[in-house]
Structure 1
Amino acid sequence: MADFIVPSHIKPETDAQHRLQGPIHAPRHVRIICIGAGASGLLMAYKLQRHFSNFSLTVYEKNVEVSGTWFENRYPGCACDVPSHNYTWSFEPKLDWSAVYASSKEIFAYFNDFARKYRLHKYVKTQHQVSGAIWNKEKGGYDVQITDLESGQVVNDHCDILVNAGGILNNWQWPAIPGIEKYKGVLLHTANWDDKIDLTGRHVGLIGNGSSGIQVLPKIQPIVSKCTTFIREPTWVSPVQGLEQHVYSDKERLDFATKPNVLVEYRKNVERGLNGQFGIFLKGTTTNDDTETYFRQQMTEKLQNKYLEERLIPNWHVGCRRLTPGVGYLEALGKENVEVVYGEISSISERGCVCDNGQEYPLDVLICATGFNTSFKPRFPVINPNGVNLQDVWKTEAQSYFGIAAPDFPNYLIFLGPNCPIGNGPVLSAIECQADYMLKMIDRFQTNNISQFSPKQEAVDDFIAHKDAFMQRTVWHDPCRSWYKQRPDGPVTALWPGSTLHYIEALMEVRLDDWEVKYNGNRFAWMGNGYSQTELDPSADWAYYIRDKDDDEPLSRGRKLQAINKSGTMQGNVGVSFSGNGKSEENKASAVGAKL
């Protein structure tokens, strides 16, 4: 079949008329710009290539390589806190992970190999950083400004749809400590690591006990003369029971590669476990209480130090901050060459850190494991048709529609935006469903004469109200200092009000009643010249709907979900439900599915 397509040079005002020359749903050319070639940007390129035609795509990436955070983060001990076999796309397993928690080097190789396998590099322009995007009132879409980091030249581009896949854990920042610019030793940040620096035999300072700091300490402790680690607040540190670090044997890797269903069943079991942990984050559930008891026991056994127990074991609930496996971290704190300084760093001098105890700690090397700017504000101006900058709108609190779009900013889509499930369970599966939702919107844009689409303000207001009410029942609402929120007592801006499976089901279908949609001319111009796509395809069956039995796909949401989730195939999953009275209840789903 030779598709009737609306060429890219057709102006918006003539799009409707041109469509009348072709069949129903004729796909017009759509120009897409994606910012970032990390995991999300590569997935977007893959899915567009697999499912669409008559499109052009450019992915602008500031680094010299793809893979985003997994190219950038190379500090000692850098790894993912999600089991490696489940830190892959659902459809693209990796057979030879070295361990349950694989290194950043291995993860970089996975995404880089993914891009090479599917020839995605052809869409990517590396060393190109987007510096601004402004809505073009005449043509529609965005005029995008890009800096060629190699030449320094400014490049201008235009797109119908702008996708921001820049990531949330990407914009690293130095700690806001006075005098940091005065320090004369070697200054490092975990997200901007210098591989040429040798730490052997040196006195190293380590600021932070978040995920990066927890990974760094066990790796550098055996080689440094001394490590002074600065900790200002407690945090829960322990492997999740049943997912402790494990190095895969040659036989295990061989079985994964050669025995049918061994790997897929292993991945499914791990994923079921990850999806069964949502009760950890709900106050008053047996899962949360049991997990806290287990964590407290494990931390006490591994620290074996009353002073550290009193200062490092929190009084807020498990899960208020992101759970971190912490392989070897607690044990390293007790080593002879490790000194723990608890409290605030008042300032940084030429020699080292000055703390609120009045003491100065001279250091050869100072490592800042102090994380990222997680405000969700875009790193460049995004200007809407009314001349409003999204950076200003999200200055105090970022509010989005389901973590993928912002009201009044048409044709602008976001991966891992505010209030998506970045810490609720498996994250890559959530990114996949975001990509699928975006493609459904792009498909409507391409096959209908749509000029603009953006979520309605009233829909976002209702979503935020629901989210804020829900969060009060979660441990994330506790007054801990966490990147999930901009201040300890502030609204939770990073997480979804539900589990990852809940998010996937919420995004299965596009709720067009939540979207403001504008058209070029008559909204029914997509009906075209009266012919169907089928009639113009000589290889198609022009009577495809005539059959000897009803094999239609399910039409109701419930039946459709049962087909997707293979309801009735499991012996019964044990989980935790949250009853209306706020009490936790363990429930076991029957083999035919739990009744709602």
Structure 2
Amino acid sequence: MPGDGSHPDSENVTSGSWSDKPIHHQRHLKVIGIGAGASGLLFAYKLQRSFENFDLTLYDKNADVGGTWFENKYPGCACDIAAHAYVWSFEPNPNWSSTYAGSDEIQEYFVRFADKYDIRKYCQFGKLVSRAEWDNKRGHWNIEVTDLETGRVISDWCHILLNAAGVLNAWKWPDVPGIKEFEGKLLHTAKYDRNVDLTGKTVALIGTGSSAIQVLPSILPTVKKVISFNRSATYVFPTQGFQQRHYTDEEKRVFASDPKKLEEHRRELDSSINSLYSVFIQDSPMQKAMTAEMRGAMAMVIKGSGLEGQIIPKYGVGCRRITPGVGYLEALVDPKTEVVSSGVKAITRKGCLSEEGKEYEVDVIICATGFDTSYLPRFPVLGMNLESLAEAWKDEPKNYFGMAAPGFPNYFMLIGPNSPIGNGPVLIGIEAQIDYILKLINRYQTENIHSISPRLDAVEEFMAFKDAYMKGTVWEQSCRSWYKNGSASEKVTALWPGSTLHYMESLAEPRYEDWNFTYVGKNRFAYLGNGFSQAESDLTADWSYYLRDKDSSPLLGRAKNRRVMTRSGTIPATNRLPKL
């Protein structure tokens, strides 16, 4: 049980446990997951679906599931990906209200998912993992968990530690002098207070990222005035070929009653998003065409405002995360909005001081200033020889395919550094990560393995490949982006070096040679056991299961298998021209 302080029995530390059992004996597995957001919930679902003889605990600091969608409640908060493309591959939702659904609706999707698959039984809410330390002798992690209601520290342990806390989760106030001096109401989009009434107020909005772009048009009808501090220009035109609109009751009825119709719509959306990847390639025809088209479209909306030089970026489309920006440009040129094309130098008792030295008196300040995207853990994670992950990653988060770090055994991450979070459909990339991690966990549970961690030389070579690849992408252009930890010129730490489809094919088969495996006992083949198969230990199994009247076995060549899996030949090539 979590918090009982007990430790694994001798099965985990001796090789004799396998000698009287059939091959691939399934030892008991204890897993701790950090976070019950989207990725933590999916991990629980997939572990439950495919594994037996395990204990799982998901610790989450919040009061319910949903992660970022539970936390982010600011005006206009929505997903910047079409809602029907923001679902698990196997779990569609016919009832999305609009193309870009709001945060409450997305939260409801994950709540339904957790309830449908009985995932809450694994969750402990109001619990913050505050320390993790690898015990190499025992081959497990010792965990400290803080109960946020009582302040009590609970001890726990696990064979496998999964960090599913996410990247856009650790919000922070902007590093601006005087922020505590402001006498009005200070808000952050990631910790927004919906009880604050903005009616008739003068509001300062700091930031030009996705949340600021959603906030401005949402609050403009009720406020007296908005002072928008636009230090950085960003593209804010719908780019995925799908404008924001509400689905009709008839459309939702058809989606609910005809799964094929819903699948067709989902495929149209996902295929459209996947077709856009070449826009991220430096000087590609699509990059040039998309940049020119978006600059022209933005110029048309703000024509005559005098903001063209301040609002339209000089870098290429995609250097920063592409955001639909529904109504944002129109709000910028509204008479109630004053655009300040600089950052905030200081916050005073009465308002904001611009970098030019002008003070703007306001009633409310909304900081849409984002999150800590350094990927440094928010609590001590101590691996081999008590090495700190924060120290190991202080210069750069060196990782293996966004999922693991050398020197930190049996520790896996979801949406870690260099994951495909801006490369195409997001959730399908998380599915691929979890499937890969579970293949490693499967080997751990059914072999006499003590620990698994990525090889340092493999990680170094992956980092070298990633850095070389990024030089040919628009992400390395000079724009301030959380893809580069808020910098305009540092290395790209957030994104995968390729498309989401490329990532899926990269993870289809684990490269076990890239991993360090250590073993319980002196012989790595102890798991072969007593010479009997698992089939023979199951008296209800068919002991001639391998016989068949035709060869239906999987294709073992990558090329042929890929063509079958992706239904090659079913789509006319002319349909692959991307929508701009």
TM-score by length of 2: 0.97
For residue 254 of structure 2, what is the aligned residue in structure 1?
255
Does 2:184 align with 1:185? yes
For residue 524 of structure 2, what is the aligned residue in structure 1?
523
SS in 1 for 2:384: coil
Give the residue type in structure 2 aligned to 1:433.
Answer: A
- The 1:241–1:439 alpha-carbon spacing in structure 2 relative to 1, beyond 3 Å, is closer
Cα separation, 2, equivalents of 1:294 and 1:246: 22
- State which drifts further: 288-297 or 466-475: 288-297
Cα separation, 2, equivalents of 1:161 and 1:47: 15
SS in 2 for 1:184: coil
For residue 540 of structure 2, what is the aligned residue in structure 1?
539
Give how far 1:344 is off. 2.4
Cα separation, 2, equivalents of 1:260 and 1:165: 31
For residue 104 of structure 2, what is the aligned residue in structure 1?
105
Cα separation, 1, equivalents of 2:557 and 2:285: 34
Give the residue type in structure 2 aligned to 1:146.
Answer: V
Give how far 1:548 is off. 2.6
Contact 1:422 1:495 in 2 (8 A): yes
Cα separation, 1, equivalents of 2:199 and 2:378: 36
For residue 361 of structure 2, what is the aligned residue in structure 1?
362
Mapping 1:406-485, distance limit 5 Å? 406-485=405-484
For residue 39 of structure 2, what is the aligned residue in structure 1?
40
For residue 3 of structure 2, what is the aligned residue in structure 1?
none
SS in 1 for 2:386: coil
Contact 1:174 1:370 in 2 (8 A): yes
Contact 2:240 2:272 in 1 (8 A): no
Give how far 1:101 is off. 0.2
Mapping 1:145-294, distance limit 5 Å? 145-240=144-239, 242-294=241-293
SS in 2 for 1:434: helix
User: For residues 269-300 of structure 1, what are the alpha-carbon distances to aligned partners after superposition, in whole Å with 9 as ceiling and x for unaligned?
Assistant: 11011111101100121111111122111111
- State which drifts further: 531-540 or 502-511: 531-540
Mapping 1:366-385, distance limit 5 Å? 366-385=365-384
- The 1:34–1:447 alpha-carbon spacing in structure 2 relative to 1, beyond 3 Å, is same
Give how far 1:262 is off. 0.2
User: For residues 395-418 of structure 1, what are the alpha-carbon distances to aligned partners after superposition, in whole Å with 9 as ceiling and x for unaligned?
Assistant: 121111000000111000000111
Contact 2:13 2:138 in 1 (8 A): no
Give how far 1:125 is off. 0.2
Cα separation, 2, equivalents of 1:396 and 1:299: 37
Give how far 1:13 is off. 2.7
SS in 2 for 1:270: helix
Cα separation, 1, equivalents of 2:41 and 2:549: 43
Give the residue type in structure 2 aligned to 1:154.
Answer: V
Does 2:478 align with 1:508? no
SS in 1 for 2:425: coil
Give how far 1:562 is off. 1.8
Mapping 1:304-383, distance limit 5 Å? 304-383=303-382
Cα separation, 2, equivalents of 1:354 and 1:189: 18
Cα separation, 1, equivalents of 2:444 and 2:563: 30
Cα separation, 2, equivalents of 1:196 and 1:269: 39
For residue 22 of structure 1, what is the aligned residue in structure 2?
21
For residue 493 of structure 1, what is the aligned residue in structure 2?
493
For residue 567 of structure 2, what is the aligned residue in structure 1?
566
Give how far 1:136 is off. 1.3
User: For residues 207-247 of structure 1, what are the alpha-carbon distances to aligned partners after superposition, in whole Å with 9 as ceiling and x for unaligned?
Assistant: 00110000000000000011111111211110015211011
Give how far 1:570 is off. 1.8
Cα separation, 1, equivalents of 2:448 and 2:319: 46
Contact 1:62 1:128 in 2 (8 A): yes
User: For residues 87-123 of structure 1, what are the alpha-carbon distances to aligned partners after superposition, in whole Å with 9 as ceiling and x for unaligned?
Assistant: 0100000110000000000000000110011110000
For residue 549 of structure 1, what is the aligned residue in structure 2?
550
Contact 2:448 2:520 in 1 (8 A): yes
Give the residue type in structure 2 aligned to 1:101.
Answer: Y
Give how far 1:489 is off. 1.4
Give how far 1:574 is off. 5.5
For residue 120 of structure 1, what is the aligned residue in structure 2?
119
% of aligned pairs identical? 50
Give the residue type in structure 1 aligned to 2:498.
Answer: G
Cα separation, 2, equivalents of 1:242 and 1:471: 26
Cα separation, 1, equivalents of 2:395 and 2:259: 52
TM-score by length of 1: 0.94
For residue 592 of structure 1, what is the aligned residue in structure 2?
none
For residue 4 of structure 2, what is the aligned residue in structure 1?
none
Ranges in structure 1 where 5+ consecutive residues have no aligned partner: 1-6, 577-585, 587-596
Give the residue type in structure 2 aligned to 1:495.
Answer: L
Contact 1:41 1:59 in 2 (8 A): yes
For residue 88 of structure 1, what is the aligned residue in structure 2?
87
For residue 52 of structure 1, what is the aligned residue in structure 2?
51
Cα separation, 1, equivalents of 2:511 and 2:367: 44
Cα separation, 1, equivalents of 2:445 and 2:30: 10
Give the residue type in structure 1 aligned to 2:500.
Answer: T
User: For residues 112-161 of structure 1, what are the alpha-carbon distances to aligned partners after superposition, in whole Å with 9 as ceiling and x for unaligned?
Assistant: 11001111000000000000100113311110000000111000100001
Misfit runs of 4+, over 3 Å? 573-576
SS in 2 for 1:405: coil
Give the residue type in structure 1 aligned to 2:492.
Answer: V
For residue 3 of structure 1, what is the aligned residue in structure 2?
none
Contact 1:8 1:29 in 2 (8 A): no
Ranges in structure 2 where 5+ consecutive residues have no aligned partner: 1-6
Aligned residues, how many? 570
SS in 2 for 1:243: coil
Give how far 1:10 is off. 2.9
Give how far 1:446 is off. 0.2
Give how far 1:8 is off. 5.1
Give how far 1:553 is off. 1.0
The alignment's C-alpha RMSD in Å is 1.3
- State which drifts further: 532-541 or 177-186: 532-541
Give how far 1:11 is off. 4.2
Cα separation, 1, equivalents of 2:413 and 2:477: 28
SS in 2 for 1:466: helix
SS in 2 for 1:339: strand
Contact 1:39 1:111 in 2 (8 A): yes
Cα separation, 2, equivalents of 1:260 and 1:455: 41
SS in 2 for 1:255: helix
Cα separation, 1, equivalents of 2:26 and 2:291: 54
Contact 2:11 2:17 in 1 (8 A): no
Cα separation, 2, equivalents of 1:44 and 1:260: 25
For residue 594 of structure 1, what is the aligned residue in structure 2?
none
Cα separation, 2, equivalents of 1:94 and 1:48: 22
